[in-house]
């Protein structure tokens, strides 16, 4: 029994040394990689896979206006009616951030080769603790990712909306919107859709009757407001 115990201790020390040797050889972060099996899975994988399955049975139109982003896109039940003059694709996945749309672009954006992309995200980014500057950087990465493959596709950013639920973030929302407005002024084939301003009254308070009871998501009247802003821009967009 004592020999077996001693052997186990030696074996354990040997494994520990090999573990740390491997982490040194493989570089920073290797220890955690070696200690855990790679079982990470995107929380949106099922939704993205469902989009791909739907694409096979009902191929989306080419040269469409693609609406993509977080829950404000996903929950837009009247999207096709609101933009009846255009072939439309709706690809929103709730809770997502800007970087998530960039990550999934190869699966739910680039294959469609849309003529125009209308993008809403950034709301969840700020709520998760990201700075307005990080939101700007993430949007630039999104632009670059799309335009490397589709340089002539127009990309419109819907300004981050004000809401009761996230009113404490209002200054950060304004800052992020200003930074992204500056980005589109220097990036070709991009534009800014200001829904922030018309969602507020003359006193700078949120207009009543445009949000759901949760104080975060738009109701039918809120989507009508967004539709009017976006349709006006699409109507004058050069092609």
Give pLDDT tens digits for 197-232.
999 999 999 999 999 999 999 999 999 999 999 999
Q: Which of 68, 221, 43 is nearest to 146 (CA)?
A: 68
Q: What is the rounded CA–CA span in Å between residue 84 and residue 126?
A: 32
Residue 71 has pLDDT above 80, yes or no: yes
Give the pLDDT of residue 180: 98
Give the pLDDT of residue 239: 63
Give the pLDDT of residue 41: 76
**Mean pLDDT within 170-185:** 98
pLDDT band at 40 (very low <50, low <70, confident <90, very high): low
* Annotated domain spans of the chain: 2-35, 45-235
Strand order in the sheet with 88-92: 88-92, 65-69, 116-120, 154-158, 190-193
The answer to whether residues 219 and 168 touch, using CB atoms and an 8 Å cutoff, is: no
Give the pLDDT of residue 184: 97
pLDDT digits 0-9 by tens, 79-115? 999 999 999 999 999 999 999 999 999 999 999 999 9
Give the pLDDT of residue 30: 38
Helices (H), 92-151: 98-103, 105-108, 123-127, 132-149
Q: What is the rounded CA–CA span in Å between residue 128 and residue 155?
A: 24
Contacts of 125 (CB under 8 A, 6+ apart): 97, 98, 99, 134, 135, 138
Residue 87 tokens read as 């072939």
Q: What is the rounded CA–CA span in Å between residue 155 and residue 147?
A: 9
**Mean pLDDT within 189-203:** 98
Provide the CATH number for the domain formed by 45-235 in this structure. Answer: 3.40.50.1110
Query: How big is the chain by its Cα radius of gyration, in Å?
Result: 23
47 DSSP 8-state letter: H
The mean of the pLDDT values for the chain is: 87
Residue 28 has pLDDT above 60, yes or no: no
């Amino acid at each position: 029994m004592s020999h077996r115990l001693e052997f186990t201790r030696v074996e354990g020390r040997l494994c520990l040394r090999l573990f740390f040797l491997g982490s040194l050889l493989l570089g920073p972060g290797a220890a955690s990689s070696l200690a855990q099996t790679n079982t990470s899975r995107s929380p949106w994988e099922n939704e993205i896979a469902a989009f791909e399955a739907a694409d096979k049975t009902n191929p989306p139109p080419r040269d469409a206006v693609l609406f993509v982003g977080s829950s404000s896109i996903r929950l837009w039940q009247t999207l096709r009616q609101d933009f009846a003059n255009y072939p439309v694709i709706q690809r929103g996945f709730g809770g997502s951030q800007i970087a998530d749309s960039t990550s999934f672009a190869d699966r739910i954006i680039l294959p469609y080769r849309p003529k125009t992309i209308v993008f809403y995200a950034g709301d969840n980014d700020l709520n998760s603790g990201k700075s307005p500057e990080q939101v700007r950087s993430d949007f630039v990465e999104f632009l670059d990712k799309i335009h490397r493959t589709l340089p002539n596709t127009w990309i419109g950013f819907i300004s981050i909306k004000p809401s009761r639920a996230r009113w404490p973030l209002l200054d950060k929302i304004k800052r992020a919107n200003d930074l992204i407005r500056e980005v589109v002024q220097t990036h070709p084939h991009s534009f800014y859709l200001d829904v922030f301003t018309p969602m507020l009254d003359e006193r700078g308070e949120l207009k009543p009757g445009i949000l759901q009871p949760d104080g975060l998501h738009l109701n039918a009247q809120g989507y009508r407001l967004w539709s009017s802003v976006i349709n006006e821009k699409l109507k004058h967009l050069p092609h």
